[in-house]
Amino acid sequence: MSRVRMGMVGGGPGAFIGAIHRCAAALDGEIELVCGAFSRDIGRSRQTGEALGLSAERIYDDYVSMIETEAALPASDRMEFVAIVTPNKMHFPVADMALRNAFHVFCEKPATFDLDEALKLRKAVLDSGCRFGLAHTYIGYPMVQEARARVAAGELGEVTRVLVEYTQGWLSSAAVAGKEEPSWRLDPKQAGASSAMGDIGVHASNIAEFVTGLGIVSVLADLGAVVPGRELDDDGTVLLRFSNGARGVLVASQICTGEANNLSLRVYGTQGGLEWQQQEPNTVVLKFVDRPDQVIRTGDPFVGAGAQAFTRTPAGHPEGYIEAFANLYRAFASDVRQTGNRPAWRGQVHVPGIDEAVRGMAFIESVVASSRDQSVWRTMGEAV
């Protein structure tokens, strides 16, 4: 079974998430990195590519030359998809050119700089017939798949209440004291309209919709910059209303001093509740009134098809963040194979794509608009 060939844009020296993408793509031995344009600085791009063992002619100076050159290679050699791990501002231009050249795209979140770009991206994806995958990594955890399956099976009854949080402390005063501000994430020209919502809140809205199977229809937000001098928010709360009328609340904050990467989701329904926490991702708890709470673990023999497809080890061998990420890559690579009519693994899993891309950008824009307007309720919009 030949590997799926990947090119990368972004991910040069010091870029945390690029290295993670490469580990995740490598894990199952089904994807091969064949080329890259890793930095706008040509020297740094070459340095990265060489350390990764790429041949010199497939380390490119920029994404334009990469896409053009690769498109001209024989079909059996050229990359099959592009992984985009640049700052947000560059996601759309790279993805758009790749799609126009018939390359599939796997992209970091948030999908684009703003909602307008996301709508254009959706059109480009549909026009191209190519696959678009979005790195909502947390969907790749087996117990998140299981949570969705349990809700879909009606074990909670009708969903009535959602509590979702994503708290970090890496931008708190104590964490940034004496250091430079992270270059692009707090810059509205590169990151977009929100830091807290664009970087982490959009993960939270995505997982809430994914697990409940419901859409967020309106939001009311209170955002702010807690650390003085920032142009973008670093903290916010959003009241949610879901498509079935259920109430929700979403907290996203980068200034919760002492928190690491604390994404948690609780969903309650007429018949039961569930809880999942990213920092201990291999358990999901179901809660009931008239019988004991249930603890389900990655690798348990009775979990659903989605969780099984995303599990490599027997119960009790913790599957971590990179495995979750690798699950998305593996499913995406399988989709790419199918497009090419090659045999493909395909677990029964749902992974994020262009629809989630558009919804995420609509969420960010609606939230920012609500907060600017003294926290009024905003609908997420017809287009979405």
293-332 residues in contact with a second copy (CB under 8 A) are 293-297, 299-302, 312-323
The CB-of-374 to a second copy minimum distance in angstroms stands at 7
Give the residue, chosen from 282, 308, 311, 334, that forms a contact with a second copy under the rule CB under 8 A.
Answer: 282
289 binds a second copy (CB under 8 A): yes
Three-state secondary-structure class, residue 275:
strand
Which residues does residue 76 pair with via DSSP β-bridges, in sequence order? Answer: none
Give the residue, chosen from 7, 11, 87, 169, that forms a contact with a second copy under the rule CB under 8 A.
Answer: 169
Choose the binding region for a second copy from 18-26, 71-79, 99-107, 204-212 (rule: CB under 8 A): 18-26
Give the residue, chosen from 43, 154, 157, 340, that forms a contact with a second copy under the rule CB under 8 A.
Answer: 157
**Interhelix angle for 354-372 vs 115-128, to 10°?**
170
- By beta-carbon proximity to a second copy, the closer residue of 263 and 354 is 263
Which structure tokens are listed for 85? 């791990």
Which helix (H) or strand (E) segment holds residue 265: the answer is: strand 262-269
Choose the binding region for a second copy from 38-46, 122-130, 279-287, 360-368 (rule: CB under 8 A): 279-287
The CB-of-335 to a second copy minimum distance in angstroms stands at 19
- By beta-carbon proximity to a second copy, the closer residue of 229 and 301 is 301
- By beta-carbon proximity to a second copy, the closer residue of 44 and 287 is 287
Comparing CA positions, the residue from 136, 197, 151 lying closest to residue 352 is 136
Choose the binding region for a second copy from 26-34, 75-83, 111-119, 180-188 (rule: CB under 8 A): 26-34
Q: How many residues does the chain have?
A: 384
179 binds a second copy (CB under 8 A): no
- By beta-carbon proximity to a second copy, the closer residue of 75 and 177 is 177
Q: Which amino acid appears at position 34 of this protein? A: V
Tell me the site size for a second copy, rule CB under 8 A.
95
Cα angle, residue 297 at apex, residues 296 and 301 outer, rounded to 5°: 90
Cα separation values, 227 from 167, 182, 189, 311, Å:
15, 13, 19, 40
- By beta-carbon proximity to a second copy, the closer residue of 74 and 343 is 343
Give the residue, chosen from 172, 212, 311, 366, that forms a contact with a second copy under the rule CB under 8 A.
Answer: 172
- By beta-carbon proximity to a second copy, the closer residue of 62 and 259 is 259
The one-character DSSP state at 24 is: H
- By beta-carbon proximity to a second copy, the closer residue of 302 and 382 is 302
Comparing CA positions, the residue from 272, 273, 193, 207 lying closest to residue 240 is 207
147 binds a second copy (CB under 8 A): no
The CB-of-97 to a second copy minimum distance in angstroms stands at 26
Distance, CA of 223 to CA of 237 (rounded, Å): 6
Which structure tokens are listed for 250? 């979403």
Which structure tokens are listed for 1? 């079974």
Distance, CA of 147 to CA of 276 (rounded, Å): 8
Residues of this chain, 114-143, that bind a second copy according to CB under 8 A = none
- By beta-carbon proximity to a second copy, the closer residue of 55 and 65 is 55
- By beta-carbon proximity to a second copy, the closer residue of 105 and 256 is 256
3-state SS, one letter per residue, for 113-135: CCHHHHHHHHHHHHHHCCCEEEC
Residues of this chain, 34-73, that bind a second copy according to CB under 8 A = 50-53
DSSP string, 224-263: E--STT-SS-SEEEEEEEETTS-EEEEEEES--TT--SEE
Residues of this chain, 192-231, that bind a second copy according to CB under 8 A = 220, 222, 224, 226
Residues of this chain, 237-276, that bind a second copy according to CB under 8 A = 237, 239, 247, 249, 251, 253, 255-262, 266, 268-273
145 binds a second copy (CB under 8 A): no
174 binds a second copy (CB under 8 A): yes
The one-character DSSP state at 137 is: G
Distance, CA of 168 to CA of 47 (rounded, Å): 32
The CB-of-77 to a second copy minimum distance in angstroms stands at 16
Dihedrals phi, psi of 265, to nearest 5 degrees: -135, 130
